[in-house]
Amino acid sequence: MSKPSIDSQSVLLERVLFSARPLWLIIFALLTVFLGWQASQVRPEASFTKMIPTEHEFIQNYFKYQNDLASLGNVVRIAVETTEGDIFTAKFQETLQQITDEVFFIPGVDRSGLKSIWTPNVRWSEVTEEGFVGGPVIPDNWDASEESLVQLRTNVLRSGEVGNLVANNFKSALIIVPLNEINPDTGEALNYQQFSQQLEERIRNKYQDDTIKIHITGFAKVIGDLIDGANQVGMFFVIAIVITFIMLFWYSRCWRSSFAVLICSFIAVIWQLGIIKLIGSGINPYSMLVPFLVFAIGVSHGVQIINAISNNSVDGASKIDAARLAFRSLYIAGLTALISDAIGFTTLMVINIEVIQELAIAASIGVAVVVLTNLGLLPIAMSYIGVSKQGTDYTQRARTKNHRLLGFFENFTKPKWAYTAIVIGLVGLSWGLYYGQQMKIGDLDAGAPELRPDSRYNLDNQFIVDNYSSSTDIFVVMAETAPSQCIAYDNLELLDRFSWHMENTPGVQDVKSVVYVAKMGSFGLNEGNLKWFSLNRNQYVLNANTARTPPGLVNADCSMAPIIIYLNDHKAETLQTVVAAVEAFNQQYQQDGLELLMAAGNSGIEAATNSVIAAAQTKMTIWVYSVVIALCLLSFRSIRTVTCIILPLMLTTIMSQGLMAVLDIGIKVATLPVIALGVGIGVDYGIYIYAKLKEGLEQGMNLDEGYRFALANTGKAVGFTGLTLAIGVATWIFSPIKFQADMGILLTFMFLWNMLGAMILIPSLARLFANFSRKRNV
Amino acid sequence: MNKAAAHVSAAALTAMLSTSALADITINNNYEVMHEPAMQANKAHQAVLTEIIRTNSRTIAVGDYGLIIYRNSASQPWQQAEVPTSVFFSAVDFANDNLGWAVGHHGVVTATIDGGQTWQRQLDGFQYVELQVQHFTKLVAEFEEQLEQFDGSADEEELLLAELDNAVFLLENAEQALEEGPTKPFLDVHAVSTNVVFVAGAYGSLLRTQDGGSTWQILDERIDNLDGYHLNAVANDAKYVYVAGEAGQIFRSSDLGDSWELMDSPYNGSLFAMHVDQQQQLWVVGLRGNIFVSSDQGESFERIQLEDNVNINAIVDAPQGGVYLVGNAGVVGWVDSERNVTQMTHSSGAALSDIVTDTDGRLIAVGQRGIIEIADFQRAVTAQE
């Protein structure tokens, strides 16, 4: 190759970059310091409202009554279990009393609502000829004696708290801890993480021993555990960096360039975090994936650069010329790939859930930053430090040696190999299509689906579900009336039928509301005569019967009464059945002044999320593919080329749906973005390979030679990129947060499979099309 | 108004409404629990059920949401009857295998002629209120006329005045109910024969039919219940009809309800159920574990006390002799012919309101948690000890 002056063929971008290298280094350094300072202030957060589709009708209804419903849901349950005998021992009762007292003083606890058999608001009652008699469950003359314990047992049985505050098997007792979302003294919002820590320190660590076991559940605990889990992700990041560095060095055998790539990629992460802090966005357990992705994308593009620089150095170019030539040969492919990533991510914006949108913004920013750091900073830096002697020697040796693995991939332009690969691809496609039909929407595991099924939280939750009459899957319908009409007879009567309608809906365990309170009140106030378990048309009677309504079952001005529907589980079918049942009832019974609005409660919100996700899934897939296809068409201007690049991607998308079904991973907030990320990044491989293949073909090579040329120039780098990206996200598989693990599994699969698809199916398809058109032309 | 039909032309609308084959759902924008047919429900046997009865052909239970369920034998699943109301049923009784009555809240009386598979409304609360107004208007007029023509002693006049006062009070109540709707639940039904049936209810309601339910007659003022105590139970033996209620009140009638005498009560608390056993002994049960039995048609009672101070809600004959009884907090007891009490507590702790024995000797109780079966009472008692 003759060598004209390096400047004569340079492009504008290159001249801008390389004519003022020191200035650029200073600008990059200053920006890094500033953004690093910003990034250091980013803290993981887990905001509930960001995880839900706020525009959905259900959520709008829920927001309308959010304050009224607060006291209903935000409760922590602490089960104190004894492993010896039952709870009616002096030692156990002493412990239970101590724990109740301790909980009372934890900041954030609504003290007036605190309930255990040791709080004075828990009473037994009995009907006598004169009326009600009753008292606190703990006998007035409690002295921990045998008689006191016998009396306590009698009182507990009379109190109706078996299954509520006392386990059905009498081996544990519950403390129900309602929380104040806003501290009434200071006006500050409750810090869930702090609260959760206090529960661990002051309750579990202090009282759990050989005979006493503590189980804690509740929304506050889930959020606390989620943030704790998210903090562990920091460690995964360090692991990912170390593994990546080892791989980089193994690939380049050059300390200098390995460090340069690593540092530039790390700078990209710092910038990305700094910018999201600047634009007022935060980092949540979902968008936490983004730094990993940015780092991995940075490394994979960095590798392409140092690969080229090393090759140029072997050819005898100076440090600066090697860097310039590398930039010149790669910036178009690099830009196309990165722009398609960035635009691919922005398609996630069509989903109206804030965490996904934050993830989309963060990822797009991250990729944009990679353009600057790894296509801009990295070549400049390399123009100063250059590739070490050791590195160029290695490249030289590698060049002369025929790479066995690359040799394997070269086979796929041969018709026999190509058709076999396509048949195997079709088998994979059928597998994906078959199992993909069984793919479910929503969360499939019991308990808190955010955490792993065997996490301590979910084991605690299972314990409470098993031993107490309560379900943790709650769907709330809000009965909206005119002010002060929530317990009007006409409304209650229709709500009673609604309750019965819902109770007979498959998947529903139980229904509770102010109607139940009214009927129980009538039963109780009429001497415990079950024949009075009904509603009365007389409003004074109804008022009396509902006088003891627990807080939360009617709102302050009595214009809304929640109907609480306890479900067997929160599977998508169950939720759909429930929603359909409510809609059917609303269709059939329409009463002036009464609206039955869906939905609150964890299951109600999940129903809304599922419906948004289900609608968004197809929309997003169409969007991301349209964008990627359009970009490929723009840069290659050939339908055949684009087909070669896109078909392997589609195979991966379809197979990953089959994988989700097989692994019981549902489509949810966490896994929906994965499809877009997988396609957006997966297309890079195809772009790099096809760009080189095309270059070869244009130089007059046949398909076999052209692909060998492409593999020799970029094959190693593409293989390396796939592995780096996969490793970056694979560490997530070990996250204590279930959805992060799910994201990790799926992304690892997609990155590896897309890489293999590009290296095997692109040549195979190219062969198929070439043969096909030749036959037609004959 | 039917939203779906809002855009349809008036003529089409009229046609649609008159054919009554309007789409697949009929929209109800004027819900009235008395007139709404009971919903077919797969959890019918788990709802609150109040009474259960066994005829020669089947077992029938009634309860909340207009539920009437039956089965022909223990091996069959419970089936739900067709019932034209959704009110809370509090009682059921049969005159023979085919003819039966179920009564409930809001003044509803329903009847069956096919052994409990389908039911028809004989009376609803609005009709009952009308009936009360007519009846008490007539009664007030009669008393006023009597007073006008009265020439007896001052004591007798005072009595008559008191009765007039009571009638006026009952009339005012009934007139108020015209506005408010029926508020007095019926609490028991008792068929003396295929023609004569009594219904007792809250605030001293007492009705009788002598023609199998075609017409109902109000008897409230015929018993001495000026305080308007609830009447909870009706029973009869060969000679008398009995009514028991709140404040330990027991009444007896020898002329099928035309006139009633107040008996000396052994108790001042509420009495919830009555039963005449095969030896013609009269059993009365009530609050706080109180059980009374009379061998002389209510002239005198012997008291039997249950261990637990819970409400006793029902008594039936036990096939092996004596009676079974059920109460609140899952209590099931057996009083043998020597008056010894054996008792157990069902693990559900549910209030049990009635019980029958099935052909195979098993007990079927109903209550707060629906149907509860106890296959072998003796074994259950032993297991609990």
Q: Is residue B123 part of a domain?
A: no
Provide the chain B residues 115-174 that lie in CB contact (below 8 A) with chain A: none
Domain CATH number, residue B288: 2.120.10.30
pLDDT band at A133 (very low <50, low <70, confident <90, very high): low
B203 within a domain of the structure (yes/no) = no
Q: Is A588 on the interface with B (CB under 8 A)?
A: yes
Which of A62-71, A479-488, B359-368 is predicted with the least confidence, judged by mean pLDDT?
A62-71
Rank A338-342, B92-96, B158-162 by mean pLDDT and report only the highest: B92-96
Asked if residue B162 is part of any domain, the answer here is no
- Please compute the mean of the pLDDT values over residues A589-613 and round it to a whole number: 89
Q: Which of residues 12-51 of B touch A (CB under 8 A)?
A: 25-31, 33, 36, 39, 41-43, 47-48, 50
pLDDT at residue A69, as a whole number: 80
What does the pLDDT average to over A251-269?
89
Q: Scanning the structure block, which residue is given the tokens 């027991």?
A: B250
Exposure class string for A530-569: b at 16+ Cβ within 10 A, else e: bbbbbbbbbeebbeebbeebeebbbbeebbbbbbbbbbeb
Q: How many residues would you count in chain B? A: 385
Domain count, chain B: 1
Domains and CATH numbers, chain A: 1-37+253-401 (1.20.1640.10), 70-224 (no CATH), 404-440+609-778 (1.20.1640.10), 457-607 (3.30.70.1320)
CA dihedral sign, ordered B291, B53, B363, B43: negative
**pLDDT, tens digit, for every residue of B231-247?**
999 999 999 999 999 99
- DSSP secondary structure string for all residues of A661-702: HHTTPPB-TTTHHHHHHHHHHHHHHHHHHHHHHHHHHHTT--
Mean pLDDT of A224-240: 82
pLDDT digits (tens, 9 = 90+) for B197-215: 999 999 999 999 999 999 9
CB pairs under 8 A between A and B: 112
Rounded mean pLDDT of A387-397?
82
Give the residue among A395, A392, A414, A413 at the shortest CA–CA distance from A403.
A395
- Residues of the domain holding B287: 278-385
Q: How confident is the model at residue A738 (pLDDT cuts 50, 70, 90)?
A: confident
- pLDDT category at A778 given cuts 50, 70, 90 is very low
| Chain mean pLDDT for chain A | 85
Confidence grade of residue A495 (pLDDT, cut at 50, 70, 90):
very high
In B, residues 319-378, which contact A (CB 8 Å cutoff)? 328-329, 349, 351, 353, 367-368
pLDDT at A1: 38
Residue B25 belongs to some domain of the structure: no
pTM of the model: 0.84
Select the more confidently predicted residue: A706 or B324. Answer: B324
Q: Does the interface ipTM go beyond 0.95? A: no
Encode pLDDT of B332-342 as tens digits.
Answer: 999 998 899 99
What was the pLDDT predicted at A50? 77
Q: Is residue B172 part of a domain?
A: no
Alpha helices, DSSP H only, in A162-207?
192-198, 205-207
> Do the Cβ atoms of A568 and A473 come closer than 8 Å?
yes
Q: Which of A137-141, A315-319, A447-451, B36-40 has the highest mean pLDDT?
A: B36-40
The pairing of beta strand B59-63 with beta strand B341-345: unpaired
Q: Is the pLDDT of residue A26 over 70?
A: yes
CB-based burial label for A61 (10 Å; 0-12, 13-18, 19+):
buried
How confident is the model at residue A152, as a pLDDT? 86
Reference A599, options A48, A51, A49, A69; nearest CA is: A69
Sign of CA dihedral A653, A658, A660, A661: positive
Mean pLDDT calculated for residue range B21-38 = 72
pLDDT at residue A151, as a whole number: 84
- Could you read off the pLDDT of A521-541 as tens digits, one per residue? 888 888 889 999 999 998 899
Q: Is the pLDDT of residue A635 over 60?
A: yes
At B326, phi and psi to the nearest 5?
-130, 155
Residues of B in contact with A490 (CB under 8 A): 31
Tell me whether residue B339 is in a domain: yes
In a domain, B76, yes or no: no
| A80 membership: H or E segment, kind and range | strand A75-82
B209 touches chain A (CB under 8 A): no
Beta bridge partners of B123: B109
Cα A187 to Cα A30: distance, rounded to the nearest angstrom = 40
What confidence category does residue A492 fall into, taking pLDDT thresholds of 50, 70 and 90?
Answer: very high
State how far the Cα of B287 lies from the Cα of B300, in Å rounded to an integer: 19
Residue A500 with chain B: CB contacts under 8 Å:
39, 41, 47, 64-65
Whether residue B336 is contained in a domain is answered as: yes
Which of B26, B29, B31, B180 to substitute to test the interface with A, most A CBs within 10 Å? B31
Q: Is the pLDDT of residue A130 over 60?
A: no
